[in-house]
Structure formats: C-alpha cells, structure tokens
Chain A
Amino acid sequence: MNFKQSFSLALKSLKTSKMRSFLTMLGIIIGVAAVIILTSMVDSMKQLMVDEFESMGTNLITVNITGRGGNRTVNPEDMIKLVEEKDTLAAVSPNITIPAYMKNGNENQSVSCIGTSENYHEINNLEISSGRYLSYVDVERRQKCCVIGSYIAKSVFEGMDPVGQIVKLNGNSFTVVGVAAEKAGSTQGGQDDRIYLPYTVARTLTFMSRISNYSFSAADKDRLDEAISDIEEALYKVYQNDDYYTVVSVSAILDTLDELTGTLTLILVGIAGISLLVGGIGIMNIMLVSVTERTREIGVRKSLGATPWNILSQFVVEAATTSGCGGILGIFVGIGGAYLLCSMMNMKTIITAGSVIIAFSVSAAIGIAFGYFPAKKAAKLNPIDALRHD
C-alpha cells in the first residue's frame, strides 16, 4: 500500500466523522494559531519600535548624566568643545525637558517643553513644516522664541499659520518661529505635543537648571563605535567612574531590542508549544479509541495480507493527516487573528514565513510522534484476536 492510498484513506476517515476530527484537531489548531499570532505580534511590535528608533536617526548617540559627582560636572560648553575636537562627532545638542504651562485662551494647559540647541532637529531627524528651527543666534542671545509640534499647531492655532504668533509659557511670551512636521500622528502627549526652546532660555524657566541629557550625532555611521568611545573617554576623564553616565546609541538600542524580542518570541512560542503538545495528546487519545473501534477492520486487513508495517503506516498517516489538517486550519486562524489584532492595535501586520513553516511542521511531526504509539499497538494485533473483536 503506497502513501497516496493511506493518505486518501485517512482523509476519508476524517470526512466520515467531521465533528470528532475537528475536536481532535482543536488543540493543534489553537497551538499553531497561537504560535503564528504571538510571533506576528512580537514582530509587528518590534517593527513599530524599530521604525520609531530609526526615525530618530541611526547616527544618534544619547548621553545621560546620572551621577552627582560633587564638583565634577560637565556643562554644555565642554560638550560643544568635544564635538569640535573629535572628527567622529558632527554635532551636539544639550537637552533639558521642563514642565510648563501654556496659556491657551483662558485655560492653562500642561505642555512638555524641551530646551535644545540649534542642532537638535538635524541630530534627531526633526523636520520643519513651516518657518525654521531655532538658530545659533536664538540660543546664544537667549531669544524667547520657540518651535511648536504639529499637535500644538493644530489644537491651539486651528488652521492659522502659527509662525510669528505668540505662545505664553509660564507667564513668558515666546514667538513661534517654526512648526515641526508631524511625526507620530499628532496625538496629545505624543512626540508632536511638544515645544522646542533654546536650552539657554529653558534652563532659566526651571529650578533644576542642570543639563543632564545630550544628543550627539556621529559624523559617520560606520564610525559610530569610535564616536561612542570618544564621548565615554571624555566623560570618564571628568567623573573617573562610568556609573555616573550612560552613553547609548540608537544602533545599540536596536541590538538590545533584537535580543529582547528574540527572547520574548522564544518564551511565547514555548507557551504556545504547550498547546501543541496537548493537541498531540488529544490525537493520541483519539487514535487509541480509533484503533480499538477498528480492531475488526485491522483483523480483516491482516487476513487479506496487510503486514504490520502496512497497518502502522496507515494509522500514522491518519494521525499525521489529522494534525496536518489541524495545522493548515491553524495557519488560517493564526494569520486571520494576527491581522485582526494588529489592525486593532494600529500596527502593520508582519507574519514571517518561518513561523508559519515551523508551526506547520511541528504540528505534522506531533501527529506522527503521537500517532506512532497507537499505530504500533494496531500493528501488533494478532489477526485472529482482531477478527473476533467486536
């Protein structure tokens, strides 16, 4: 008996008891669908973050000063000097985030203000949709001017051109010189709900005037590591302790992200794998029942010349067909589910061929593995005992 024969026989026996076959497959369907959905969610989420980070620029290096090293400290001037000295570094912007209240009509609304240098928009890939970004002169002369995010432009100025208008922050009037292009859907509290000021002005608006965040851009993407070590070297000279600062590049974050999502995928797939295992046990269970029910059939087949191998392969193929069909259904459910969930979360759906292939082959393998034991039992039956069975 060839494979095709066993296969069509297996399909036939699946068709004759649809409900039972479906219930048998359920574990496999859920398992395969779970693997596909979970990996797709992780991949899609990861892509979302990668896009976000890459939009910040892959040349970006972020420095955070965490230590309070007494007299030892760096100030913006030191950092600007560092950029001038090292040809691995292109630009730097000292950043200071301050909470502020913006007067909008009669209301005061809380808004996130970032004090930056004139280089910030280039370092962070911030595009300007109208007007200009802050200039060297603005920073140097501490001009009370600002660039506003697209959300603020929309919500406060409602269609009017904001350039040249005044916004009131903590009681001070600032002239709007430019509007940043939309970056993240113009939502409240997002990247577009921001106001950019000269850092020299921003630090006068808060008690915490120390600047502890700098964004650098590396001159050359391929010399990113060199640029990072240049910065670290300079900081170590000051603090004599690398616990006092962190130097992080977007590329490094992306690497970490890769590792993190890899682990996450493994864990989630492991959990989904348990469902596949349970599905396999379900198949074994139903195959054992099937062997018992069909003992007489096995006897007849043996009396007609079926070898133990014929019987074994018949039942293994049947189990594999069951789990394989379950696997295919699971793939459809999984792909559908992934699209549904991702669209509910406003993410682009990513389904890798690898996850589909792995999920399917594991499900088929489980059918073979768990079908083997009942099949072996059937193959070993003594023909006369099987024939007498009813």
Chain B
Amino acid sequence: MIELRDIYKIYSDGDGEIRALDGVNLHIDRGEFVAIVGQSGSGKSTCMNIIGCLDVPTSGTYHLNGTDVSTMNDIELAHIRNATLGFIFQQYNLLPKLNLLENVELPLIYRGMPQKQREEKAKIALERVGLLDRAKKMPSQLSGGQQQRVSIARALAGDPPVILADEPTGALDSKTGRDVLDFIKKLNQEGTTIVLITHDMSIAEEAKRIVRIQDGKIISDQPGRRATYEF
C-alpha cells in the first residue's frame, strides 16, 4: 500500500546540496511492521515525512493505496492525513491548551464527526492507553510517558490503517519505552500497518522488518530477528 519509487529529497543551501534522500525505493504492504534505523542525519525523518504526506520529494513518485500523492490537492492530502495516517511524534506534539480528551478528539473533529460520537471514540482510545481517568487533565500535568500514550491514543482514535511513529520512545526511559513499544506491537497484531523510526536496535529487532538507511540510501532490508518467533 506504500510504494516509494526513486525518491530524492535534495536541500540546497548556498554552497552545496544535501541529499537527504538519495534514490529511495521502498514497498510496504498492509499489516507490515517496519522499523527504519540509521545514524542521525541519515534521512529517516525525511523519509517518514514523505510517507506521511507532510513533505514532498524533490523527485520520484509516491503511491499510497495506489494513488499518486503528487496529484492530490491540499484538501485531499488533509483527508489522507486525517483518515489513513496516524502520527506519533518524538516530541508528543500535544496541544497544551486542550485537555487530553480534546487532544484525542482533534482528528475526529477534522473528520466532521458529531460531538457525542467523537467523545465516545476518544474515550475508547484513551481507555486503550489506560488514561481515561485523566481525560480532563492538561498535557502539562502528565509525565513524558503518559503524554506519549496520549499521542498514541490520538493517532489511533480515528482507526487509521497506517501508523507512523518517529522515534516514539526517544524521549522515554527504557521501561516506559518498552511499554509503548508493546502497545504498538499490539496495534500491529490487530492489523494496523506500522512504520517506526528508532535509534535503539533492541527496539528495531521487535519489528517484522528492519530497513537500514545511510546517507539517504537504503543499505539493507531484512526481517527482524525476534519478530519471527511470534508467528
């Protein structure tokens, strides 16, 4: 369902150009759990942002569910981000002036769901991450791990078929990071396609497939070691 073909992302600044992505070809099927690993600055986030329709490649084509993303207008892209993709950011990116429930409701609001229904859905999502009892709290009243769980609840509230997580455990200690990872694995088992960026090899090993990026190029693409045990 995700199909990147000859993707280049080139930033030019005065004296030279930076090839953040240098001819990437990547195919991800429905239900996969892909971990993207690589050194800092290797182009992982750039790749993820293109998959997430937040950024556009300098050249190359990206097909999502068979449609060429470059042919979509702003409104269609917004609908894709809203219904097809769920984002989990390293920095959580919760809106500080909204309480947890309102934060989780956001994607549903943009979907035009009526108030009652979306409140219900948001509560279910919060319940799944175990934070329903704090629904009326503000993000600043939570620990980092709890905030990340809220951002996961927000990503899955709208039941998107794909979840994109850019270093979701990067700001968490290893114990909380593992909890979050277990949750993401559970989502994958329920059928959600997962693309996850991480520095932590022990986390990447849990994925079904590990894609290694270096200097904007994919240098290896192999199954995760531990993931195989589960099937």
- Report whether B97 and A16 are in contact in the complex, using a CB–CB cutoff of 8 Å: yes
Number of interface residues of B (CB under 8 A): 24
Q: Which of B30-38, B47-55, B169-177, B199-207 contacts A (4 or more CB under 8 A)?
A: B47-55
Q: Which of B71-79, B124-132, B183-191 contacts A (4 or more CB under 8 A)?
A: B71-79
Shortest beta-carbon contacts, A-B, top 9: A305-B82, A307-B78, A305-B110, A384-B55, A384-B54, A304-B107, A383-B54, A300-B93, A305-B81
- Report whether A303 and B95 are in contact in the complex, using a CB–CB cutoff of 8 Å: no
- Report whether B83 and A297 are in contact in the complex, using a CB–CB cutoff of 8 Å: no
Chain A residues contacting B154 (CB-CB under 8 Å) are 304
* A194 within 8 Å of B (CB atoms): no
For this complex, 16 residue pairs linking A to B, each with C-beta atoms less than 8 Å apart, are A1-B110, A296-B93, A297-B95, A301-B95, A303-B54, A304-B87, A304-B154, A305-B82, A305-B111, A307-B75, A308-B74, A308-B75, A308-B78, A383-B54, A384-B55, A387-B54
Assembled-state Cα–Cα distance A310/B111 (Å): 11
When A and B form their complex, what is the total count of cross-chain residue pairs whose Cβ atoms lie within 8 Å?
63
Chain A residues contacting B89 (CB-CB under 8 Å) are 387
A interface SS class: helix
- The answer to whether residues A310 and B97 also contact, given A304-B82, A384-B55 and a CB cut-off of 8 A, is no
Smallest distance from the beta carbon of A7 to chain B beta carbons, Å? 13
- The answer to whether residues A303 and B52 also contact, given A12-B97, A297-B95, A387-B93 and a CB cut-off of 8 A, is yes
- Nearest to A309 among chain B residues (CB) is B75
Assembled-state Cα–Cα distance A166/B83 (Å): 101
* A203 within 8 Å of B (CB atoms): no
- Report whether B52 and A306 are in contact in the complex, using a CB–CB cutoff of 8 Å: no
Max chain B CB contacts within 10 Å: which of A5, A305, A382, A383? A305
Number of interface residues of A (CB under 8 A): 24
Q: Which of A300, A308, A382 is in CB contact (< 8 Å) with B95?
A: A300
* Given A304-B106, A305-B79, A307-B75, 12 additional A-B pairs, CB 8 A: A12-B97, A13-B97, A303-B52, A303-B87, A304-B81, A304-B110, A305-B78, A305-B83, A306-B78, A384-B49, A387-B54, A387-B89
- The answer to whether residues A1 and B95 also contact, given A304-B87, A306-B78, A384-B49 and a CB cut-off of 8 A, is no
- Nearest to B55 among chain A residues (CB) is A384
Max chain B CB contacts within 10 Å: which of A12, A304, A307, A309? A304
* B64 within 8 Å of A (CB atoms): no
In B23-81, the 8 Å CB interface with A consists of: 49, 52, 54-55, 74-75, 78-79, 81
- Report whether A305 and B74 are in contact in the complex, using a CB–CB cutoff of 8 Å: no
* B10 within 8 Å of A (CB atoms): no
In A334-390, the 8 Å CB interface with B consists of: 382-384, 387
